[in-house]
Amino acid sequence: MPSKNHANAHLALQTALVLAVAGTASGAFAATAETADHAVWQQVIHDNPAPSQGCFHATYPSAIWVKDQCRPTPRRFVTPPRPTTTFGKGQVVGNGNDYSIGVRGTISQTVGSFPLAYNVQSEYSDGGIAGPNEYTLQINSQFGEGTAICNNIPYCLAWQQFIYSPDYAVDGSAAVFMQYWLIWYGYDGRSCPDGWWTYGPHCYTNSDYVSAPDVPITQLGSEKLSGSARVGGNDTVTFTLGNTAYSISAPDSKVGLGSWWNASEFNVVGNAGGSQAVFNDGAFLMTNVAVKATSTAKPQCLVNAGTTGETNNLNLGPCAAYSAAMPFIRFSQSLPVGGGGGGGGGEN
């Protein structure tokens, strides 16, 4: 039990805070209400993809998508994991060493965000598109076996990514787009399908992109990325920051993700080419990955189930899974003061 003097001091502090806040209470309430309104608006935006193929933007408070210009995405690639990957203590996050959310049934949408980004002061990409504030937000499917696009080719795996990438196509501007892969399609020397590019034994191609602002890493907690796939409809990637949204939709027919999607990885990693996002010491991220799926049962935290080849230098913390209207997983990743990135995680 606290002492009487301690209790009196606590009461005095409470009184002072009340008096200090009273003069600006209406302004503070308005700011809180506006923040809540922005959150609702973002939810509506991510829940309601653009009505047709193409590029779009929307601005708070309107939830109406406005047609935007689509631009061709350059032939850079955001890589799958390297075949030499090993997991466990001492690995950085990414290149396979990451959590994915796994569900019963089929996923139609994944939404990734960082509800807490603490002491994130700086970041740089040490390869790919190198430099400060160079990173990607990625939602990545699992590797799809036996898909129609692979057409019974042995070892072939389909894969799809939803990406936000600063300076990907033009310096000073970010690209929001989708990238598609046929892993091991050319293991026996066969050529990639028309319109696909070769990367070793793999094939890849991109959607067009919609331009969005370059966002410094210090605003990571305000960024949100979603990807959706609908059989016979469109696949859509949407990026929101504060009161603006950017989106592009393309036919689901490229790899047919809507029919086989049952696991998703979301994270912040290096900017293309297998690079690493290097955060400052003391950075801490709480990472949230939610899905719309044919089942709302409690999902799984799939360990060592990441599919991107890019990484960051953080340590994975434990992962917890929750049943909800949109089932989700939540996990931490951090770098202690003094560094030492690359620990293993675990599931709760």
Q: For 232-252, what is each residue's pLDDT tens digit?
A: 999 999 999 999 999 999 999
Q: 192: left (phi > 0), else alpha (psi -120 to 50), else beta? A: beta
pTM: 0.87
Asked if residue 43 is part of any domain, the answer here is: no
**In degrees rounded to 5, what are phi and psi of residue 213?**
-70, 150
Please report, as a single letter, which amino acid is at residue 297. Answer: A
* 75 or 235, which is more confident: 235
Cβ-contact 115, 221 below 8 angstroms = yes
pLDDT band of residue 340 (cuts 50, 70, 90) is low
How much is the mean pLDDT over the chain?
87
Asked if residue 177 is part of any domain, the answer here is: yes
* 274 or 119, which is more confident: 119
Residue 81 has a pLDDT of 72
Q: What percentage of the chain exceeds 90 in pLDDT? A: 76
* 34 or 191, which is more confident: 191
Question: Beta-carbon neighbour count of residue 106 at 10 Å?
Answer: 18
pLDDT band of residue 36 (cuts 50, 70, 90) is confident
Residue with tokens 């009161």: 243
Asked if residue 234 is part of any domain, the answer here is: yes
Cβ-contact 180, 255 below 8 angstroms = yes
CA distances from 126 to 131, 270, 272, 285 (A): 7, 8, 10, 20
d(CA 283, CA 124): 13
Residue 15 has a pLDDT of 34
Q: Is the pLDDT of residue 333 over 80?
A: yes
Query: What total of structural domains would you count in the chain?
Result: 1
Question: Beta-carbon neighbour count of residue 159 at 10 Å?
Answer: 22
Q: For 123-160, what is each residue's pLDDT tens digit?
A: 999 888 889 999 999 999 999 999 999 999 999 999 99
d(CA 217, CA 223): 10
pLDDT band of residue 338 (cuts 50, 70, 90) is confident
Cβ-contact 259, 220 below 8 angstroms = no
The H-or-E segment that residue 268 falls in is strand 263-269
Count of positions (residues) in the chain: 348
Residue 20 has a pLDDT of 35
Lowest mean pLDDT among 78-87, 101-110, 222-231, 318-327: 78-87
Helix count (H) and strand count (E) of the chain? 2, 25
In which domain, by residue range, is 293 found? 48-347
Q: Which residues contact 271 (CB under 8 A, 6 or more apart)?
A: 125, 128, 129, 130, 134, 135, 136, 165, 166, 167, 168, 277, 310
3-state DSSP helix/strand/coil % of the chain, to nearest 5 = 15, 40, 45
Residue 229 has a pLDDT of 98
Kindly state the average pLDDT of the residues 171-182: 96
Residue with tokens 């409809």: 233
Lowest mean pLDDT among 34-43, 262-271, 276-285, 336-345: 336-345
Asked if residue 21 is part of any domain, the answer here is: no
Kindly state the average pLDDT of the residues 278-304: 97
pLDDT band of residue 82 (cuts 50, 70, 90) is low
Using the Cα atoms of residue 237, residue 56, residue 165 and residue 240 in order, give the sign of their dihedral.
Answer: negative
Please report, as a single letter, which amino acid is at residue 23. Answer: G
Please report, as a single letter, which amino acid is at residue 74. Answer: P
pLDDT band of residue 277 (cuts 50, 70, 90) is very high
